[in-house]
């Protein structure tokens, strides 16, 4: 009996060693997920769950014979809305808006998070943590967390299919662990048939590529004194609001996973400091001297407040 127990314990020990040896690190699993999402021909049918809405979505992806990315995202309820990617061109079809095409390698659409993110770059500012195994859409998945190192932004929990390495679920969490959004796959398939279907997109006549104006400002009279590490400033713009005729300057920032924008304008009689959050989106308005500063984006309210209060002003130019 003693020899039997020793044999069983030895066997269990060996199996445990093998299991740990085969376990892929969280970052490596994310890299596998990224490669699969960029290289496979697949179809994901999922729902985007927010606090007050549920949006069913169909997303297809493939690579054509010239190794260019093809993708098609369709909103399955309400008016017809589609986003089509052909290589470096992305077309948007929405109700009440003339269809248009822009030069870009990314869809501005509710795709499952981290499909197009630079995992190595995100690793500088986020920790990747394995949680365990679970089932989603009827498949065994590896579960991992994407957590900010500084605690100043939101986090994700991801369910990655063990066979295909595709993401089947993503939960967006605030700093208190409350779920703000969920992407949950209902069904999916990996098949060359998807590539055959998407190849028809190359024959569809879509709008010509728009020539988008670049940022129209090189410098300004205000400066953001603090942002979380990893966020980079994009183009600086100035424009006049159509309804109020107020002149506004704005700048967007991104860390590759989340975005926010800073807006600066002269205050008026309706200007008032306020802060609000709806789902992932935070709005914080702050009055400083004769200026109104607003921060809008996918960041926690406390982070938005700190960014707004860090804005300083030099000798102010006259705003026409």
- Tens of pLDDT, residues 228-246: 999 999 989 888 877 777 8
- In eight-state DSSP terms, residue 199 is G
Model confidence over 176-195: pLDDT tens digits?
999 999 999 999 999 999 99
CA distances from 293 to 119, 236, 248 (A): 32, 15, 10
Structure tokens at 294: 């607003």
Helices (H), the chain: 2-22, 26-39, 119-122, 192-198, 301-309
Which letter does DSSP use for residue 5 in this model? Answer: H
Domain residue limits, the chain: 25-203, 222-313
Output the pTM of the full model.
Answer: 0.86
The pLDDT value recorded for residue 239 is 83
CATH number of the domain at 25-203, please?
Answer: 2.50.20.10
Under a CB-based contact definition with an 8 Å cutoff, are residues 47 and 54 in contact?
Answer: yes
Question: Range with the lowest mean pLDDT among 16-20, 73-77, 136-140, 288-292?
Answer: 16-20
Q: How far apart are CA 102 and CA 209, in angstroms?
A: 5
Structure confidence by residue, pLDDT tens digits, 194-213: 999 999 988 889 999 987 66
Q: Give the fold, CATH level 3, of 222-313.
A: Phosphorylase Kinase; domain 1 (3.30.200)
1 pLDDT exceeds 60?
A: no
């Amino acid at each position: 009996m003693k020899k039997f127990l020793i044999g069983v314990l030895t066997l269990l020990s060996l199996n445990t060693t093998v299991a740990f040896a085969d376990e892929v690190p969280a970052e490596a699993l994310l890299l596998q997920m990224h490669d699969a999402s960029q290289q496979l021909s697949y179809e994901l049918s999922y729902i985007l769950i927010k606090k007050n809405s549920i949006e069913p979505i169909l997303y297809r992806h493939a690579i054509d014979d010239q190794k260019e990315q093809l993708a098609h995202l369709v909103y399955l309820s309400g008016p017809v809305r589609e986003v089509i990617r052909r290589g470096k061109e992305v077309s948007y079809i929405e109700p009440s808006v003339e269809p248009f095409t822009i030069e870009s390698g990314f869809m501005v659409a509710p795709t499952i998070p981290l499909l197009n993110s630079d995992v190595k770059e995100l690793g500088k500012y986020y920790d990747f943590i394995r949680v365990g195994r679970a089932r989603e859409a009827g498949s065994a998945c590896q579960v991992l967390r994407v957590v900010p190192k500084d605690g100043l932004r939101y986090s994700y929990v991801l369910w990655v299919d063990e066979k295909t390495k595709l993401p089947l679920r993503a939960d967006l969490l605030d700093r208190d662990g409350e779920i703000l959004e969920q992407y949950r796959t209902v069904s999916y398939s990996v098949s060359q048939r998807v590539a055959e279907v998407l190849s028809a997109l190359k024959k569809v006549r879509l709008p010509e590529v728009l020539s988008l104006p670049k940022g129209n400002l090189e410098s300004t009279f205000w400066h953001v004194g603090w942002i979380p590490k990893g966020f980079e400033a994009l183009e600086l713009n100035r424009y006049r609001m159509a309804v109020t005729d107020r002149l506004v300057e704005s700048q967007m920032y991104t860390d590759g996973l989340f975005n926010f924008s800073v807006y600066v304008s002269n205050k008026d009689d309706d200007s008032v400091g306020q802060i609000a959050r709806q789902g992932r989106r935070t709005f914080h308005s702050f009055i400083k001297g004769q200026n109104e500063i607003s921060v809008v984006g996918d960041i926690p309210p406390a982070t938005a407040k700190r960014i707004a209060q860090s804005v300083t002003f030099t000798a102010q130019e006259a705003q026409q």
